[in-house]
Structure 1
Amino acid sequence: MTHLRRFGPGLLVAAALATVATLLGTVLPIVGGPVLALFGGVAVGVVGRRFVADTGPLGPGLTLTKQRFLAAAIVLLGLGMPVGSVLTVGRDTAVVLIGTLVAGAVAAVVVGRLLALDRESATLVAVGTTICGASAIAAATAVLKPDRHRVAYALATIFVFNVVAVLVYPPLGRLLGLSQEAFGLWAGTAINDTSSVLAAGVVFGPAAAHFAVIVKLVRSLMIVPLCVGLHLAKRRSAPDHAANTPLRQVFPLFVVLFLGASLIAGLGILPDSLTAPLARLSGWLIAAVLAAIGTGLTWQQLRTAGARPLLFGGILAVVLGTSSLALQLATGWW
């Protein structure tokens, strides 16, 4: 009963915000439930700042949400990414997919240094733009444990360019004369979140939407090496603590479980009837985490971050879009 009284109020608030945001996200797929949950959390934090503080009545439950729900959401993502079913598409699109990721990574390093961004903000915006939007940011957050306002700013940046992509990509694709598959490959390799990839594909055509989602699925699998790489980089940046870090932490448990879930999905062990509900549960958990993060965000924190992360995200979005088209032209997709 003591734990229920301590954690219950904050958990209920995060759950309520996630539920409302998820329902609204089905009506506004361009925005998506996770981003709506973030904004809902911000609104709650503005109205009841002292209630959501760490020492307030909602604080413990919100903190627990951020600590525990995130790993569970990332593992459930793996159940929607069957390895075997995407091998063919991954093989056929490997040059464009890998080339786009490399171009994005190089641009992230160069542009991040030119803009003198702090490492955490640059990393969060970069992984969100190049890999899988909010899901990649959530995974990176679990490893890096950055400041809350940097996570929120990165998510807001991703949201801005998700909306721009959904509005701009379909008419631009028609202007360029892209086929259904070529547009699907473009959207799957250059647009951030899966919801926005799907929205842009649906506007362009049903075949484009189907192909775009599969390509995005392959791209999302990069979450696994991303988390391992970030963890290794974190150990190198803190050598004094590396000797005391168990070897198993080089491969965080949630990453290992994510990979196992992806293999299970590929083996067909999971009944098809459970795939969609588990995917929705994963999205709901991510929304709850972002709602909890949003409650701690203040306008002063965003103002301190400045416009550079937004400019950084915009440059990366342009690099991904143009490099994907260039690689498609070079490989005969376009």
Structure 2
Amino acid sequence: MPPFTLTLLLRAGQLPRLLPGLLSAAAAVVLALAVHSMVAVLPAMTLAVAFGLLAANVPGLSGWTAGQGRPGLDFAGKHLMRAGIVVLGLKVSLVDVLGLGWAALLLITGVVLAAFAGTYGISRLFRLPPPVALLIATGFSICGASAIGAMAAARRIRQHDAVLPVALVTLCGTLAIGVLPLLIRPLGLSPAVFGAWAGASVHDVGQVVATAQTAGASALAVAVVVKLTRVILLAPMVAAAGLHHRSSAAPGTGLKRPPIVPLFVLGFVALAALRTTGWLSPGTLDAAAVLQDVLLGMALFGLGSAVRVGELLHTGARALLAALASWLLIAGLGLGAAFLMIR
């Protein structure tokens, strides 16, 4: 948590009200990281969402997450998500990304744009509201829940509307971990091609790692670089959405116009630039990776704890079908791109 945010909380006397939810989110992240360390194929961030879902729907815990724990969990879902996105910038080295070559970079950019447009169109075809469709398209095409949080902040979309997209992107990313490795032999994929496919089509960074490592170290190396190239596109995509939102805000309404680029996106870009300089030691980067996991894990637990399975089954059938159709679209686009990149 940034020091100035903590100072404001203390001055406003809000910390005691937020503490129960924040502590529960922190405990959930510790548990998620412990399970991940024992079962590497289960990404910690996916587990954090799953634990949030359990907390929201298990008798005895559901009342607490909706009551005493809710303020802190909402704070985590909003503010810690933004802080985690800033730290995510330290995973991105422009040197590694540029090493793919301009042809591959243009290809990956095309896949992201096509996936974004296609997923948004599919979501609207299934009559999902425009804000939800936008968040689903962002999460599926760029980098999962982190991208959803960034886009929601840039477009001033309610946190409640981000809950369903986060649940769907987590579900489909987890599905990819189990399904994609089963297709290596039937499709005759080399480790490099499979790694490029995972990096170009799986949503969250942790899910990419869990998927690609099943084909070995060479597949994992390719997958991470391709995935981080998609992560870089988070900044321009969110900036473009923020600029559009700002320009479409009706003048003279008295409402405060949103910034062109949210500050946390600028922080993401700044830390990516810092990582690219090579000045940071491996120990510093490792510590930053842990901090990022903690921040994003707490945020995802907070969002997951707002999902009521009964409501999700009642209202989310169309969204689930849209998500599965989008998952197939992105898998197809990613596979085509992988064959073109790795020859």
Provide the TM-score with structure 2 as the length reference.
0.86
Runs of 4+ in 1 over 6 A off after TM superposition: none
User: Quick check: 1:286 aligned with 2:266?
Assistant: no
2:224, 2:177 → 1: CA distance? Answer: 14
Structure 1: runs of 5+ lacking an equivalent: none
Q: Which residue in the other structure is 1:273 paired with?
A: 283
Which residue of the other structure, out of 116, 141, 151, is the alignment partner of 1:105? 116
- Residue-by-residue CA offset, 1:265-314 (whole Å, 9 max, x unaligned): 00012222111221121121111112222333223431343222222222
User: Quick check: 1:310 aligned with 2:320?
Assistant: yes
Q: Which residue in the other structure is 1:10 paired with?
A: 21
Structure-2 change in CA distance of 1:141 and 1:283 (3 Å): farther
- Residue-by-residue CA offset, 1:39-73 (whole Å, 9 max, x unaligned): 322333343444434xx433332333233212211
**Which residue identity is paired with 1:229?**
A
Q: Which residue in the other structure is 2:6 paired with?
A: none
SS at match of 2:293: helix
**Contact (CA 8 Å) 1:82, 1:263: kept in 2 or not?**
yes
User: Quick check: 1:230 aligned with 2:241?
Assistant: yes
Structure-2 change in CA distance of 1:284 and 1:145 (3 Å): farther
**Contact (CA 8 Å) 1:97, 1:189: kept in 2 or not?**
yes
Structure-2 change in CA distance of 1:297 and 1:18 (3 Å): same
Measured after TM superposition, the shift of residue 203 of structure 1 is: 1.1
User: Quick check: 1:195 aligned with 2:206?
Assistant: yes
**Which residue identity is paired with 1:286?**
L
Structure 2: runs of 5+ lacking an equivalent: 1-9
**Contact (CA 8 Å) 2:147, 2:234: kept in 1 or not?**
yes
**Contact (CA 8 Å) 1:90, 1:215: kept in 2 or not?**
no
User: Quick check: 1:301 aligned with 2:311?
Assistant: yes
Q: Which residue in the other structure is 1:126 paired with?
A: 137
Structure-2 change in CA distance of 1:324 and 1:42 (3 Å): closer
Which residue of the other structure, out of 254, 259, 268, is the alignment partner of 1:258? 268
**Contact (CA 8 Å) 1:143, 1:231: kept in 2 or not?**
yes
Which residue of the other structure, out of 47, 63, 68, is the alignment partner of 2:74? 63
**Contact (CA 8 Å) 1:22, 1:287: kept in 2 or not?**
no
SS at match of 2:34: helix
Measured after TM superposition, the shift of residue 97 of structure 1 is: 0.8
**Contact (CA 8 Å) 1:86, 1:218: kept in 2 or not?**
yes
Number of residues paired by the alignment?
330
SS at match of 1:269: coil
Provide the TM-score with structure 1 as the length reference.
0.88
1:328, 1:147 → 2: CA distance? Answer: 36
Aligned pairs (5 A) from 1:215-226:
215-226=226-237
SS at match of 2:85: helix
Greater shift in the superposed pair: 203-212 or 39-48:
39-48
